[in-house]
Amino acid sequence: MNFWVIQGLNGLAFGSLLFILASGFSLIFGLMRIVNLSHGAYFMLGAYVGISAMAAGASFWTAILIGGVAIAVLGAVIERLILRRLTGQPLAQVLVTLGIAFIIADACVWIWTGDPRPVPMPRELAGAFRIHQLAFPIYRLFVIGVAFTLAAALWFLLERTRLGAMIRAGVDDLNMARAMGIRTSVLFPVVFCLGSALAGAGGVLAGPILSVYPGLDTDMLPLALVVVILGGVGSLLGAFIGSLIIGFIYSYGQALFPDLAYMILFLPMVLVLTLRPTGLFGRQAI
Amino acid sequence: MGTDALVISGLNAFYGDSHVLHDVSFTVKQGQVLGLLGRNGAGKTTCISAIVGLVRAKTARLELFGQSIAGLSPEAISLNGIGLVPQGRRIFPSLTVIENLTVAARRGRAGQRSQWTLNDVYEAFPRLAERKQQLAGSLSGGEQQMLAISRALMTNPRLILFDEPSEGLAPQIVTEVAAVLRRLRESGLSIVLVEQNIRLALEIADDVVVLNTGYVAHTGGAEALRADGARIQQLLGIY
Ligand SMILES: Nc1ncnc2c1ncn2[C@@H]1O[C@H](COP(=O)(O)OP(=O)(O)OP(=O)(O)O)[C@@H](O)[C@H]1O
Ligand SMILES: [Mg+2]
């Protein structure tokens, strides 16, 4: 019994981290039609930047902010200088974002060496939450809380503001949105920077749970991809449900069938792509 | 009086290697309706897409009220005052009716005669007001067409392009669409009307351009063509 509850909470916590990563990835994919293969690298780089910020004396909270802002700026530069020139060339975009991912990964090894770095937990969230026989790290509960708050905030942005409606219009039919005067030169940077910021801040937030190491990027990117394919491209609800599903599968799968971890994670993706190419909540087929 | 609403000359458009429009030229006079006719695949939609910047095209001249819009992005062309009611309606299905209207909403240029607001649109199309919180994708075909028209009006255009607004609609709804078109013409809006419904187009249009496999086959007044059944038969093979 305890096993199921603890692994369930672990799954929820991991799903929460995934949501922070995948929500931006999904919006970028849905609106700009870019499969941003750098997204995992943004997550890792954000975590490293956060570590350095903390080493320089910043608090954990400031480090999250710095990680988010740094990656948002990087995203803005990449969007403006590179991706915008490749509008309408999906293959070139995929290759470029893959190349950027490799460059970032190499730069990280060069700057922060290849040794895994633990990320200290903020003192106020250390320790465990106890109920009956169960003990669960407070920090993980906090991460779950952050993800749900973020989901609510993104929901508000997308569903209750005019900017959000414009983004959804662009996801529905980008050419028509443009023909109605909705400016991609405004929407694209907003969405790309938002997604980048979430990836960067999410990396720092994930640090105390996952730690930071070379390969964190390539561990996370496929999971974000699975989440988005499962949930549906450009769908916030899809990213949310998909993240939780993959979080649970990951957590129980690792515990129960450690040898089959990848099969268990990617089988749902294969099934969804075959049976429902738009994902559970999406409109666009991949 | 003064400049024309739209001047196109020497328009060539391509999809990859296939040359779809050949030196298409025509003029839309201010406050008038130009009927753009032609059989299936003649290139009407391509022509509309080229005007709004969604299809890259080579043009000698593309001018909106005397101002060149050649090479501008679709959003810039929209902001310059062209509204589009696209073929197949293409409303934003996952947005509500009201969101479809507000994302497009924009004030017209200073001194423009008619200014459309949400209330004007609801007054003109009461059914949209009733369904304003409904997802646009759940509307009937006729309602979606009314929404597509309203969405274009919310951008307060100077020139509005209709691509087969009666396509796939019940006769009663077609009558309603025709009434809307007449009303817009009376309000002084300049209009390009693409139609397969020749009778409807000839009734509403002032001038007519007929495309045939990407070439302009005929340009002239609608009235003259209306009276010349043989010519219509020859150009369009129907009626
Ligand atoms: N996206 C595209 N790629 C390649 N060829 C296209 C594309 N769209 C249209 N065509 C071709 O260009 C030609 C003109 O098509 P267009 O859609 O402009 O015709 P249309 O007059 O609007 O026809 P309809 O009355 O059926 O709407 C056709 O031969 C069509 O097959
Ligand atoms: Mg057409």
Collect all residues of chain B within an 8 Å Cβ-Cβ radius of residue A176.
84, 86, 90, 92
Structural domain including B210 reads 6-236
Number of domains in chain B: 1
User: What mean pLDDT value characterizes chain B?
Assistant: 92
Q: What is the CATH number of domain A2-275?
A: 1.10.3470
Rounded Cα gap, residues A2 and B77, in angstroms: 62
Q: With 70 as the cut, is the pLDDT of residue B238 above it?
A: no
How many percent of chain A have pLDDT more than 90? 77
Residue B55 lies in a domain: yes
If phi > 0 it is left, if psi is from -120 to 50 it is alpha, else beta; for residue A46 that is alpha
Element (H, E) at B109: none
In sequence order, which ranges of B52-107 are alpha helices (DSSP H)? 74-79, 97-104
pLDDT of residue A285: 72
CA B238, distance to chain mean position in Å, is 22
Q: How far apart are CA A250 and CA A244, in angstroms?
A: 10
At B85, which CATH number? Answer: 3.40.50.300
Domain assignment of residue B181, yes or no: yes
Q: How near does any CA of chain B get to the CA of A262, in Å?
A: 34
Residue positions counted in chain A: 286
User: For residues B48 and A179, is the Cβ–Cβ distance under 8 A?
Assistant: no
- pLDDT tier, B93 (very low <50, low <70, confident <90, very high otherwise): very high
| Torsion angle of C-alpha atoms B5, B11, B16, B17, degrees rounded to 10 | 160
Which residue CA neighbors atom 16 of ligand 1 most closely?
A: B43
Q: How far is CA A234 from the centre of its chain?
A: 13
Crossing angle of the two packed helices A39-55 and A184-210, in degrees rounded to 10: 60
DSSP code of B218? E
Would residue B120 count as lying in a domain?
yes
The shortest CB-CB distance from A176 to any of B90, B99, B102 is to B90
Low-confidence ranges of chain A (pLDDT < 50): none
Please, which pLDDT band fits residue B239 given cuts at 50, 70 and 90? very low
Q: Which of the residues A84, A176, A187 would you substitute to probe the B interface, choosing the one with the greatest number of B C-beta atoms within 10 Å?
A: A176
Our CA dihedral for B99, B100, B102, B105, rounded to 10 degrees, sits at 170
Give the tens place of pLDDT for each residue, B34-65.
999 999 999 999 999 999 999 989 988 999 99
Beta strands in chain B (DSSP E): 6-15, 18-28, 33-38, 57-58, 61-64, 67-68, 82-85, 159-163, 190-194, 207-212, 215-221
The answer to whether the complex's ipTM is over 0.90 is yes
Q: What is the pLDDT of residue A254?
A: 87
Predicted local distance difference test score (pLDDT) of residue A286:
67
Inside any domain, residue B115 = yes
Quick check: CB of B40 below 6 Å from ligand 1?
Answer: yes
- What is the reported pTM? 0.93
Structural domain includes residue B1: no
CA angle B162–B62–B66, rounded 5-degree value: 95
Q: Give me the pLDDT at residue B107, please.
A: 83
Q: Is the CB of B87 under 6 A from ligand 1?
A: yes
pLDDT of residue A134: 84
Q: What strand order describes the sheet that includes B82-85?
A: B82-85, B159-163, B190-194, B33-38, B207-212, B215-221
Give the phi and the psi of residue A20 in degrees, each rounded to 5: -60, -35
Do the domain assignments include residue B24? yes
Find out whether the beta carbon of B20 lies less than 6 Å from any atom of ligand 1: yes
